[in-house]
């Protein structure tokens, strides 16, 4: 538990500075370094190649630690800087903290509270709840030649947490990994397919720490789709001696740029299809992550959204909520409290985590939480206000949501409207018709409407 506490401190700082949390291989190296082990000993113990630990994992670990500590970190000074940083960060809540060899020896208050749940759940967190069948399926699929996995769910349902674990598993298998969030692409780049494909190829080579050779492979006579294909096949895949797992997160951001989407998505499908006849393409394993279905009109033979292994992340069920409550230290024995919480928020992972955080810290009782949840004074006030801001900026969404909330039957919506509300998590789609996703939204937004001036108001 003490070591987990250290990693939690480091991961929180990494998330704060918008860096990926420590991968499990980086954690193993950090533990080994603190125990004065050589890279060869670490690799042998964990069954990795020494070159992979020395040339890939360790430099990536030290880069992250350098960002946290504000000083250049290497194997020689890592233990000293880590001890100094952890001591500084934990002084108010620790009895003592000391890093010895060969073990990390820490004494930390056992009643230290978990951190506020926000963003993806770190790899080492005890508050990650698995969907066992899903984990088993994706791990098996990622080892197959030329695999493609499609992960779909509204925002804050656990997509990024799952992809972190896929990347970690892939690294354990000895694969190279690249993870790109299309949320980070500039709008100017998304407006031009050529710029976007150059961005994609440049970022792949950057993360693989390869030399950029875009201009050598880009040929205007071939066009951007063929140029990017040649770059990936003849340069990137040809240079690496193992498989490459490419995670494309938040690809729904491309949906709002139809001209780019009509080029990019058929291109993804072509790379997948090429693996059936070309051995080098079998190195590529694609993971495509998106918030909802694509509404860009594509022919079936062009779309990557009807091939590969489809994964749709579900809500937590009662047993999972009960288990998570126990991990937060709540004594919910008969499941009644879990049922009451789920009656208002369903099994939405982020909303469940937030509730259990407040309940475990004894900042609010369950009765108070349930009473105030759908109000501007409840624990979800910021979360609801964020959705309200979007609805105020786009009144057509408010009208559609109002009609959905005040109907006793599923409501048909325009595809783009349905896509946006579903990606926000406010509705669920039932045979292309909308229903509210939880009582929390029904109660909070039910009196929402749009006045004659197209302003969102509460009646």
Q: Are residues 45 and 89 both part of a single domain?
A: yes
Whether residues 216 and 263 share a domain: the answer is: yes
Supply the pLDDT for residue 3. 65
243 and 141 Cβ atoms separated by less than 8 Å? no
400, part of any domain: yes
Nearest to 232 by CA among 286, 184, 164: 286
State both tokens at 318: 């009662």
Helix (H) or strand (E) holding 53: none
Q: Is residue 116 part of a domain?
A: no
Residue 118 lies in a domain: no
Q: 332 and 363, same structural domain?
A: yes
Judge if 366 and 424 occupy the same domain.
no
Asked which of 358, 376, 394 is the last residue of a domain, the reply is 376
pLDDT at residue 201, rounded to an integer: 97
Question: Domain check: are 139 and 228 in the same one?
Answer: yes
pLDDT values of the chain reduced to their tens digit, one per residue, 459 residues: 356 667 778 887 887 787 777 887 888 899 888 888 898 888 888 777 787 788 888 888 998 998 998 888 988 888 888 888 887 776 544 334 444 444 444 433 444 457 788 788 888 788 999 898 999 999 999 999 999 999 988 888 999 999 999 999 999 899 999 999 998 899 999 989 999 999 999 999 999 999 999 999 999 899 999 999 999 999 999 999 999 999 999 888 888 888 898 899 999 999 999 998 999 999 999 999 988 655 555 555 566 777 889 999 999 999 999 999 999 989 887 889 999 999 999 999 999 999 999 999 887 899 999 999 999 889 999 889 889 988 888 889 999 999 999 898 999 998 888 888 988 889 988 777 999 999 999 999 987 777 766 777 766
> Taking phi first (over 0 means left), then psi (-120 to 50 degrees means alpha), and beta for anything else, what does residue 309 get?
beta
| Euclidean distance between CA atoms 331 and 320, whole angstroms | 14
Q: Please report the pLDDT score of residue 457 as a whole number.
A: 73
Last-in-domain residue among 376, 400, 422: 376
Domain total for the chain?
A: 4
The confidence score (pLDDT) of residue 40 equals 87
| DSSP letter assigned to residue 115 | P
Asked if residue 139 and residue 251 are part of one domain, the reply reads yes
Residues 173 and 296 in one domain: yes
124 domain-assigned: no
What is the number of alpha carbons within 13 Å of residue 60 lying toward its C-beta? Answer: 25
Is residue 62 situated within a structural domain? yes
296 and 151 co-located in one domain: yes
CATH of residue 250: 3.40.50.300
Q: CB atoms < 10 A from the CB of 131, how many?
A: 17
Pairing state between β 284-290 and 148-152? parallel
Domain identity same for 304 and 163: yes
pLDDT of residue 25: 82
**Residue 122 to residue 12: CA distance in whole angstroms:** 9
Quote the tokens at residue 409.
């039957």
Same domain, 165 and 308: yes
Contact call for residues 236 and 275 (beta carbons, < 8 A): no
Residues 6+ apart with CB under 8 A from 411: 400, 403, 404, 433, 434, 435
CATH of the domain at 386: 1.10.10.10
In a domain, 393, yes or no: yes
Residue by residue, DSSP assigns 119-142 as SSPPTT-TTPPP-HHHHHHHHHHH
Which residue is it, tokens 């050589």? 38
The answer on 336 and 306 residing in a single domain is no
Domain that holds residue 239: 132-312
The CA distance from 48 to 41, in Å, is 10
The answer to whether residue 119 is domain-embedded is no
Beta carbons within 10 angstroms of residue 179's beta carbon: 19
First to last CA, the chain: 51
Whether residue 117 lies inside any domain: the answer is: no
Q: What is the pLDDT at residue 209?
A: 92
Q: Do 167 and 271 fall into the same domain?
A: yes
Query: Quick one: pLDDT at residue 138?
Result: 94
Contact between 98 and 105 under an 8 Å Cβ cutoff? The reply is yes
Q: Which residues have a Cβ under 8 Å from the Cβ of 145 and sit 6 or more positions away?
A: 275, 282
Q: Check: pTM over 0.85? Answer yes or no.
A: no
């Amino acid at each position: 538990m003490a070591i987990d506490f250290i990693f939690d401190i480091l991961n929180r700082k990494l998330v704060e500075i918008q860096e990926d949390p420590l991968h499990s291989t980086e954690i193993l190296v950090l533990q080994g370094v603190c125990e004065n082990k050589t890279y060869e000993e670490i690799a042998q113990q964990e069954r990795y190649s020494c070159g992979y630990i020395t040339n890939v994992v360790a430099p990536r670990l030290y880069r992250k630690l350098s960002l946290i500590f504000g000083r250049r970190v290497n194997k020689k000074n890592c233990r000293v800087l880590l001890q100094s940083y952890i001591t500084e960060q934990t002084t108010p809540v620790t009895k003592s903290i000391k890093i010895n060899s060969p073990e990390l020896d820490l004494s930390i208050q056992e009643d230290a509270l978990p951190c506020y749940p926000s963003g993806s759940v770190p790899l080492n967190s005890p508050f990650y709840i698995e969907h066992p069948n899903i984990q088993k399926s994706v791990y098996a699929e990622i080892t197959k030649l030329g695999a493609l996995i499609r992960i779909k769910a509204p925002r804050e349902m656990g997509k990024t947490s799952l992809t972190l674990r896929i990347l970690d598993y892939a690294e354990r298998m000895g694969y190279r990994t690249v993870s790109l969030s299309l949320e980070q692409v500039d709008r100017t780049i998304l407006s031009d397919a050529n710029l976007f494909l150059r961005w994609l190829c440049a970022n792949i080579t950057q993360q693989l720490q390869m030399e950029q050779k875009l201009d050598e492979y880009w040929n205007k006579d071939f066009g951007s789709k063929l140029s990017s294909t040649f770059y990936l096949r003849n340069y990137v895949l040809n240079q690496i001696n193992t498989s490459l797992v490419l995670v494309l997160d938040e690809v729904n951001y491309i949906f709002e740029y139809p001209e780019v989407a009509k080029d990019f998505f058929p291109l993804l499908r072509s790379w997948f299809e090429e693996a059936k006849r070309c051995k080098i393409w079998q190195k590529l394993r694609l993971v495509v992550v998106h918030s909802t279905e694509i509404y860009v009109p594509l022919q079936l033979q062009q779309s990557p959204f009807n091939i590969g292994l489809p994964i749709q992340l579900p809500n937590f069920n009662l047993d999972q909520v009960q288990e998570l409550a126990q991990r937060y230290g709540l004594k919910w024995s008969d499941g009644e409290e879990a049922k009451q919480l789920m009656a208002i928020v369903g099994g939405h992972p982020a909303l469940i985590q937030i509730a259990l955080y407040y309940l475990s810290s004894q900042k609010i009782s369950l009765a108070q939480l349930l009473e105030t949840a759908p109000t501007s004074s409840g624990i979800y006030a910021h979360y609801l206000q964020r959705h309200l801001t979007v609805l105020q900026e786009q009144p057509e969404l408010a009208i559609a949501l109002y009609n959905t909330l005040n109907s006793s039957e599923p409501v048909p919506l325009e595809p783009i409207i349905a896509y946006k509300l579903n990606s926000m998590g406010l509705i669920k789609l039932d045979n292309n018709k909308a229903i509210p996703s939880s009582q929390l939204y029904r109660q909070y937004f039910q009196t929402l409407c749009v006045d004659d001036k197209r302003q969102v108001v509460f009646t």
